[in-house]
Amino acid sequence: MNYRKYALLAVVLLFSVSAYAQKFEGLAETPAMGWNSWNKFAGNITEDLIKGVADAIVESGLRDAGYIYVNLDDCWHGERDSLGFIQCDPVRFPSGIKALADYMHERGLKLGIYSDAGWKTCAGRPGSVGHEFQDALQYAKWGVDYLKYDWCDTPNINAKGAYKLMSEALRAAGRPIYFSMCEWGTARPWEWASEIAHSWRTTGDIWHCFDCGRGEKPNYAHSVMAILDMQEGLRKYAGPGHWNDPDMLEVGNGLSESEDRAHFTMWCMLAASLILGNDVRDMPQAIKEVIMNKEVIAIDQDKEGIQGLRFMRTDDGLEFWFKPLVNGEWAFCILNRATEDRTYDIDWQNFNLYDDVAKRFTDFDSKTYKIRNLWTKKDDGDTKKSRVVTIPAHDVLLYRLTPTKK
């Protein structure tokens, strides 16, 4: 196939898929779970590293807990061949991406890859602009299952058009691939991307600071709590098949144990993708207990697919969150953003609320809920009476509330 014939084929494919929904359905009924190379390793990735991560995900039980995507971020790229098809770096990935995808699939995992809607990726590798259909065909040929599509080096490029084009290219290539838009929220993708992508970034990059200024980091990098605040008003746009993405997890990358627990909990309350970014080959037990707590993961993966609601906050740093769950249940979380422990008297009658996204009342005045503490993994009475609790600094209390039968 020469380049002119390929270009003609791309045009035909573009118009042939226009009558269909762009993204593949059924790939994101609950938020994605997996691992990405960037937060820990940045561009220093190799075939052996990724294989080692995959082996650790299987051996540690992370795969069985739901973490199935193993995603290459920036710097896997080599050059384009004479026809314009992207190749991998032959030194870093000598066996090729197809072999790496096969390695994942043999272990019950899925392979993710990275590209950019601009001329160059954020690390200066070849972007996909002008090669969208070629790149999608290459990914499908290799057996890729997930695409993170970034937004660097995009002068005079329309975001909506660029992401729609890649979505159509993936569809035309024929292999179901999860499409993760990484546009940083600048063009308000939550308002238009639900038909073309499975998730969309709502902010710039996260970095491993719980609640602080940007320091030496560039302006696009935000702390965990800053990103949490940026989700205000976005919950109505999320749901099964289309998710707000507040960026990857920094659990295990230098936060305290309590901050890791709070970070993970709040991403679950947000119904966010749970994409790990730590070195899973060498994890302390405390990190394993956070990211492998299946009862907390179940809050994120709840089939209702409703993002959590920040109901109330206090002047001393406490926030009160609710997330509607299946069967009339609720997740209830108290987040302590203060640097000191806080004690609070929970009077459930103060939390009678109506969630206009879930179309549901909590009804504490007429219903009794059983309480399950998801971090202690213990049943903790019910909501008939108020209770005094202490929430440590930069930590959370997380309950699952289940209606009792009358």
- Span 47-81, pLDDT tens digits: 999 999 999 999 999 999 999 999 999 999 999 99
Domain residues for the domain of 346 are 309-403
Looking at the structure, do residues 24 and 162 belong to the same domain, yes or no?
A: yes
CATH of the domain at 256: 3.20.20.70
pLDDT of 107 reads 98
Give backbone dihedrals phi and psi of 284, rounded to 5 degrees, phi first.
-60, 155
pLDDT of residue 11: 40
Is residue 116 within 8 A of residue 152, CB to CB? The reply is yes
97 and 177 in a single domain? The answer is: yes
Considering only CA atoms, which of 95, 57, 28 is closest in space to residue 241? 28
Domain boundary among 267, 300, 333: 300
Confidence tier at 217 by pLDDT (50, 70, 90): low
Strands 360-361 and 146-150 turn out to be unpaired
Mean pLDDT computed over 132-151: 98
Q: Are residues 10 and 97 in the same domain?
A: yes
pLDDT at 19 over 90: no
Say whether pLDDT at 5 is over 60.
Answer: no
Whose CA is closest to 271, among 314, 238, 313? 238
302, 326 in Cβ contact below 8 A? yes
Pair (295, 316) in one structural domain: no
Give the mean pLDDT of 252-280.
Answer: 98
- pLDDT above 90 coverage of the chain, percent: 92
pTM surpassing 0.85?
yes
Query: Where a domain ends, among 300, 324, 347?
Result: 300
Q: Torsion angle of alpha carbons 8, 19, 201, 163, nearest 10°?
A: 20
The answer on pLDDT for 110 being more than 90 is: yes
Neighbour tally for 219: CB within 10 Å? 7
Tell me the pLDDT band of 336, cut-offs 50, 70 and 90: very high
Q: Which of 264, 280, 300 is the last residue of a domain?
A: 300
Q: Assess contact for 179 and 170: CB atoms under 8 A.
A: yes
Six-digit token string for 300: 């994120």
Q: Which sequence positions are flagged as catalytic? A: 150, 205
**The total number of structural domains that make up the chain:** 2
pLDDT of residue 219: 62
